Structures are given as structure tokens and as C-alpha cells.
């Protein structure tokens, strides 16, 4: 975890670089008007604070800096729309819960994990505060249950891209519920979601998610030709379909003719 002191040092360095590159430190503008002297990064206007964070390019700094002062918290809460916590190797669940209420304008959130950390409580926190969320990556979240999908369905109806690959505990009933509420989905990754991806859930997706363009059904061994055929008729914009490992697909229904013929 990055310490607040480390963040201060990096922000001070960014501040110094910014003042040098912009010719800061001169007391008079070229027009002869007075220019307020800035003694440190905490005195910068919010727009410049956001610029420094953008230049730093490290989401760890964003998370820690949000707790430095009220000004940082407010600026980041309104200005940050894209955040990744994939760097977090421990305590991602608690970290997600602690920041969700600060970053209410998030549109893209990546919570991909090397080892499973996230629990339903973290996803519920995101769903409660991040109503504008459009893209969410929960891949390899083995600990999540249907509670997470229900929470996303109710709290994040504007989702257009969802990756829940490897979330093997989700049921098809929860996925059906999600499809009824997140009708703007364009990209859905269900690789390894053998319980969730069934013919019934695919039929619901076909009925509710007509804008779907990409669907990964890799190793979803309950899917048959019937489910894929329903996608062909209900999702006319579908351009990418991964059926690797779908052992029940036979091709007897000439499924691919629906998509490409």
C-alpha cells in the first residue's frame, strides 16, 4: 500500500515540475497583473490538482490522495471516472468498500484479481454509490455470489461492459435478473460461468440486451444450439461470439448462418 507521506513527496515533485514548466514563481504576469503565489500543491486550484493526478498516472496515488484532505476527496470524487484496483494484492475488498462513496462519478472500474479477494459486500458498495458505472471488470472473483449480480442490476443499470469471467458461483436466475435491468450491455464476458450461462439465461439476454456486440461463453458447458440460436435472432449487432469449450454445440441448427450468413 502506498503511504500518504509517499504520495505527498510525489505530489510535491509534480508541483515543482509543473511550476517550472509553466514559468511559475514569477510574481507578475506578462500583462503586468499580479499572479497569486502558490506555496505548495495544496494551494493549487482543483483543475490543476486533477491535472497533476492525471500526469502521475498511478491509481494507487488516486486512492491514497482521496484521504489526504477534504479538497482532494471532493476533487477526485467529481473528476475521476476511470479507476483500477488490480494492483491491490491484499485487502481489495475493504479498499473497495472504503472508496466507493468517494468516487460516485466512476464510469470504468477494474477489479481484476490474481487471487480471489472480493466479496459481495464490496460489489454492493459499488452498486450503492456508482450509479453512472458503464464498465466493470470482476474477473476471477471466485467468492462472489448471486447477491453481487442482484446489486449490480439494481444499482448500475447503465452498464455497457461487464466481465465476470471465472465467477463460477453465479446462477442463471441471477444473470436473467441482471439482463432485465442492464439492457444497455454491449460486451459480456461469461467465460467459465457454467452455472450462469444456460439456454434460459441466453434467451433472456437475447430478449433484453438487443445492443449486445460481444459475448464470451468459453467453457460454459450447459449451452446448447438452442441458446445460441436465440442470441442470433435477438442480438442483431452481435459480432464476436466465443464458444470455446461449449461441448454441447453441434451446429445442427446452422447457428453461424444467423450471424454471418
Q: Are residues 179 and 96 in the same domain?
A: no
65 pLDDT more than 80: no
Strands 82-84, 187-189: pairing is unpaired
Q: Are residues 169 and 252 in the same domain?
A: yes
Q: Are residues 132 and 57 in the same domain?
A: yes
Confidence class for position 27, pLDDT limits 50, 70, 90: very low
CA end-to-end span of the chain, whole Å? 53
Contacts of 82 by beta carbon, 8 Å cutoff, 6+ apart:
106, 107, 108, 109
Is 7 contained in some domain?
A: no
- Position 41 scores a pLDDT of 54
Higher-pLDDT residue of 254, 212: 212
- Position 77 scores a pLDDT of 83
Instruction: Look up the domain containing 69 and give its range.
Output: 45-112+125-139
53 pLDDT more than 90: no
Q: How many domains does the chain have?
A: 2
Tell me the three state secondary structure of residue 109: strand
What does the pLDDT average to over 163-177?
Answer: 98
Q: Are residues 256 and 168 in the same domain?
A: yes
Q: Are residues 167 and 106 in the same domain?
A: no
What does the pLDDT average to over 155-178?
Answer: 98
Q: Are residues 133 and 225 in the same domain?
A: no
Is 53 contained in some domain?
A: yes
Is 78 contained in some domain?
A: yes
Q: Are residues 130 and 169 in the same domain?
A: no
Q: What pTM did the predictor assign?
A: 0.81
Is 148 contained in some domain?
A: no
How far out from the chain centre does Cα 78 lie?
17
* Helix residue ranges, H only, the chain: 4-21, 46-56, 59-65, 70-79, 92-100, 120-129, 146-155, 172-181, 199-208, 225-234, 255-260
CATH number at residue 215: 3.80.10.10
Is 17 contained in some domain?
A: no
Residue in 120, 111, 152 with CA at minimum distance from that of residue 133: 152
- In percent, the amount of the chain with pLDDT more than 70 equals 75
Q: Are residues 213 and 134 in the same domain?
A: no
Rounded to 5 degrees, what angle do the CA atoms 232, 236, 240 make? Answer: 75
What does the pLDDT average to over 32-43?
Answer: 53
Amino acid at each position: 500500500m502506498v503511504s500518504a507521506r509517499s504520495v505527498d513527496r510525489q505530489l510535491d515533485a509534480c508541483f515543482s515540475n509543473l511550476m517550472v514548466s509553466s514559468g511559475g514563481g514569477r510574481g507578475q504576469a506578462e500583462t503586468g497583473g499580479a499572479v497569486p503565489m502558490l506555496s505548495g500543491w495544496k494551494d493549487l486550484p482543483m483543475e490543476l490538482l486533477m491535472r497533476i493526478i492525471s500526469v502521475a498516472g498511478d491509481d494507487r496515488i488516486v486512492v491514497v490522495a482521496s484521504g489526504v484532505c477534504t479538497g482532494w476527496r471532493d476533487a477526485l470524487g467529481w473528476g475521476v471516472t476511470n479507476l483500477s484496483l488490480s494492483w491491490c494484492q491484499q485487502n481489495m475488498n475493504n479498499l473497495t468498500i472504503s472508496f466507493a462513496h468517494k468516487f460516485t462519478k466512476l464510469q470504468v472500474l477494474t477489479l481484476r484479481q490474481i487471487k480471489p479477494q472480493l466479496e459481495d459486500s464490496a460489489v454492493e458498495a459499488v452498486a450503492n454509490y456508482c450509479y453512472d458505472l458503464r464498465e466493470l471488470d470482476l474477473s476471477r472473483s471466485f467468492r462472489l455470489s448471486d447477491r453481487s449480480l442482484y446489486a449490480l442490476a439494481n444499482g448500475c443499470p447503465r452498464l455497457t461492459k461487464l466481465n465476470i469471467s471465472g465467477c463460477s458461483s453465479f446462477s442463471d436466475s441471477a444473470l436473467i435478473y441482471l439482463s432485465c435491468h442492464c439492457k444497455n450491455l454491449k460486451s459480456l464476458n461469461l467465460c467459465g460461468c457454467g452455472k450462469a450461462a444456460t439456454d434460459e439465461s441466453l434467451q433472456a439476454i437475447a430478449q433484453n440486451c438487443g445492443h449486445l456486440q460481444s459475448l464470451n461463453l468459453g467453457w460454459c458447458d450447459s449451452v446448447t444450439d438452442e441458446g445460441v440460436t436465440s442470441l442470433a435472432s435477438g442480438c442483431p449487432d452481435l459480432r464476436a461470439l466465443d464458444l470455446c469449450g461449449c461441448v454441447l454445440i453441434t451446429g445442427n441448427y446452422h447457428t453461424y448462418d444467423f450471424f454471418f450468413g
